[in-house]
Amino acid sequence: MANVRLSMRKIVEVLRLHHEGDRSHREIARMVSTSPTTVGEILRRAKQVGLTYPLPAGISEMGLEVQLYPPAAPSSLARPEPDWPVVHRELRRKGVTLDLLWQEHKACHPDGYRYSAFCAHYRQWVGRLPVSMRQTHAPGEKLFIDYAGPTVPVIDAMTGEIRQAAIFVAVLGASNYTYCEATWSQSLPDWIGSHVRALEHINGVPALLVPDNLKSGVTTACFYDPEINPTYRDLATHYSTAVLPARPYRPKDKAKVEAGVLLVERWVLARLRHQRFFSLGELNRSIAELMTVLNSRPFKKLPGCRQSAFIELDRPALRPLPATRYEFAEWKVVKVGIDYHVEVIEHYYSVPYRFAREKVDARFTATTVEVFHRGTRIASHVRNDARGRHTTVDAHMTPAHLAVQGWNAPRLLDWAGRIGPHAKAVVDAILHQRRHPQQGYRACLGILRLGKTFGEDRLEAACERALAIGATSYSSVKSILKNGLDKKRTSAPAQTCLPLEHANVRGPHYYH
């Protein structure tokens, strides 16, 4: 037994102290820095081969070792030893278990270890690897969140197109209670929606949300100070919780959800691999049924199951849900234009004129658009998805300062009138196209400044052509000038009928 062997010098010392000093096993063990069991084993072996102290003359250390520890005789019952490093590496693969590796080992070596011995020998080998600190989790403290690696195909019944659904997994720290659902993607709307449904499923809010460093949750991953996505931070504020992302390249920070993902892959996704799904709802119903079974499976080494542990530990410690459900909102940093409007999804919303040229935060949901300046809300609008249009509040405007540095309608019309009547007509048309004339100031300024580039005569001709074809906009006038169309006068309408009196016209009497 290699685990009780000492150096030959210490073995000789054990024999000397026993035979000459008549000391106890415990005293001898203390003197040679070993255990009393090892001392007893050495003396037992020495007695079996008839060794005493002093040793026979001429005996060498090798001869002493051979007498005390003779090589084992070849036995037909010797078990083939598995390649433990390979076993350890294979266990890192998804879905691979010790039971599977033992079955593969037994298939190649029928006389190999039984399953219990296989596991025991593997644990003994793993025991020599570096150990890690075991984490403990207070009830209701943390909800660990991640996505499973594998996806599930969903077939469109109408087109036959196959889409891959992502699998969202959330695990409570104290009870290991697991929530799982399928979404079309890992994008921000699906990420936030899964959080809302997970919190409603457990009917409470933990003190901390611990996600992986997914872009939807963490804008900038950092070991010390990660930057949380504004929408994710908004959700945490609504539910009175906090976000504590796992540190980059530290999987042990979220070991709970790593184990939860592994369970979902083995006990849910593996069981669904032969089924065909034609909608996301159908897939989620199947997942929910299997998750009920998984959370009810008894623990192997502890009493109860995830469901009972959740009811006993986590549920009483969770904070209550807020009165209203979180409404998905996106955030965007925008700059206020000189016309005191901000652009959100190609629509323009007004803010008080004094914030012109300032950077502000726009928060927009499916129904509203809010604008914040240094955390203070300065404007709120009903969302309008009409692209290129303006939503303007009269209270945001002032006659003294319209954030366009002194320009107003009379001044623009006066400038255009000095260029020509057609230029003035185009400017007047643009100002009357908008509910608020101020919304057309930039377009008018752009047209009038084309006179500096192409000359006022050409600009007047271009405006005449724009009026003739009904294209009174900055882009149309600029295109006319750029392509030289202002130099071509619009032709008179083609004659569509002949005069009734003409020398070459026979008249109706000719046919009588």
The domain that holds 41 is classified in CATH as: 1.10.10
Residue 322: inside a domain? no
Residues 166 and 213 in one domain: yes
- Among residues 128, 98, 126, the alpha carbon closest in space to that of 113 is found at 98
Opening angle at CA 511, ends 509 and 512, nearest 5: 70
The confidence band for 137, taking pLDDT boundaries of 50, 70 and 90, is: low
Give the pLDDT mean for 328-337. 86
Predicted confidence band of residue 214 (pLDDT cuts 50, 70, 90):
low
| Alpha helices (H) along 229-298 | 230-238, 255-264, 280-296
pLDDT attached to residue 435:
66
Predicted local confidence at residue 201, as pLDDT: 92
For 184-226, give the DSSP string. S-SSHHHHHHHHHHHHHHHTSB-SEEEE---TTTEEE--SS-P
pLDDT at 403 over 50: no
Q: What is the pLDDT of residues 274-318, one digit of tens each?
A: 888 998 899 999 999 988 988 888 877 567 788 888 888 888 889
Q: What's the CA gap between 155 and 455, in Å, rounded?
A: 62
Out of 247-261, 310-324, 348-362, least confident range: 247-261
Q: Which amino acid is at 385?
A: D
pLDDT given at position 158? 83
Same domain membership, residue 264 and residue 220: yes
Q: Find which of 1-15, 182-196, 488-502 is predicted with most confidence, using mean pLDDT.
A: 182-196
Res 224 pLDDT > 50: no
Residue at 511 is within a domain: no
**Residues 6+ away with beta carbon under 8 Å from 15:** 42, 43, 46, 51, 52, 53, 55
Q: How would residue 179 be classed by pLDDT, with cut points 50, 70 and 90?
A: very high
Reply yes or no on whether the pLDDT at 222 is more than 70: no
pLDDT for the residue numbered 399: 59
Distance CA 431, CA 442 (A): 10
3-state helix, strand, coil split of the chain in percent (to 5) is 45, 15, 40
| Mean pLDDT on 339-357 | 87
Task: Please report whether residue 495 resides in a domain.
Answer: no
What mean pLDDT do residues 76-100 have? 73
Q: What is the mean pLDDT of residues 324-341?
A: 85
**Are 39 and 105 within one domain?**
no
Q: Which amino acid, residue 25? A: H
Q: 230, 215 in Cβ contact below 8 A?
A: no
Domain assignment present for residue 75? The answer is no
Statement to judge: residues 436 and 458 lie in one domain: yes
The pLDDT, as a whole number, for residue 198 is: 92
Choose between 452 and 88: higher pLDDT: 452
**The three-state (H, E, C) secondary structure of 3-59, written as one string:** HHCCCHHHHHHHHHHHHCCCCCHHHHHHHHCCCHHHHHHHHHHHHHHCCCCCCCCCC
Q: Are residues 354 and 467 in the same domain?
A: no
Question: Is residue 148 located within the same domain as residue 108?
Answer: no
Q: What is the mean pLDDT of residues 435-461?
A: 83
**Is a pLDDT exceeding 50 seen at residue 133?**
no
Give the residue-averaged pLDDT of 404-409: 62
pLDDT reading at 69 higher than 80: no
How many separate domains does the chain show? Answer: 5
User: pLDDT category, 229, cuts 50, 70, 90?
Assistant: confident
Confidence at residue 484, expressed as pLDDT on a 0 to 100 scale: 86
| 339 and 305 fall within a common domain | no
Give just the sign of the alpha carbon dihedral 387, 393, 398, 399. Answer: positive
pLDDT score for 197: 93
Last-in-domain residue among 396, 420, 446: 396
pLDDT at 437: 67
Are 294 and 435 within one domain?
no
276 lies in which domain range? 142-317
Looking at the fold, whether 9 and 114 belong to one and the same domain comes out as no
Tell me what percent of the residues of the chain surpass a pLDDT of 70: 81
Quote the pLDDT of residue 309: 84
Q: What is the Cα–Cα distance from 18 to 38, expressed in whole angstroms?
A: 13
pLDDT score at 13: 82
Grade residue 249 by pLDDT with cuts at 50, 70 and 90.
very low
Residue 377 has pLDDT above 80, yes or no: yes
CA pair distance 31, 33, nearest whole angstrom: 6
* 3-state secondary structure (DSSP) of residue 288: helix
Confidence at residue 285, expressed as pLDDT on a 0 to 100 scale: 92
Domain end residue (candidates: 317, 349, 369):
317
Which pLDDT does position 495 carry in this prediction? 46
- Whether residues 52 and 101 share a domain: the answer is no
Side-chain-side CA neighbours of 120 within 13 Å: the count stands at 5
pLDDT at 255 (0 to 100): 58
Asked whether residue 508 is domain-assigned, the answer is: no
Q: Which of 153-167, 435-449, 478-492 has the highest mean pLDDT?
A: 153-167
| Class of residue 270 by CB neighbours under 10 A (exposed 0-12, middle 13-18, buried 19+) | middle
Instruction: Indicate whether 272 and 160 sit together in one domain.
Output: yes
Asked if pLDDT for residue 483 goes beyond 50, the answer is yes
Three-state DSSP state, 425: helix
Q: What is the mean pLDDT of residues 187-197?
A: 89
pLDDT bucket at 496, cuts 50 / 70 / 90 = very low
Q: Say yes or no: 60 and 178 in one domain.
A: no
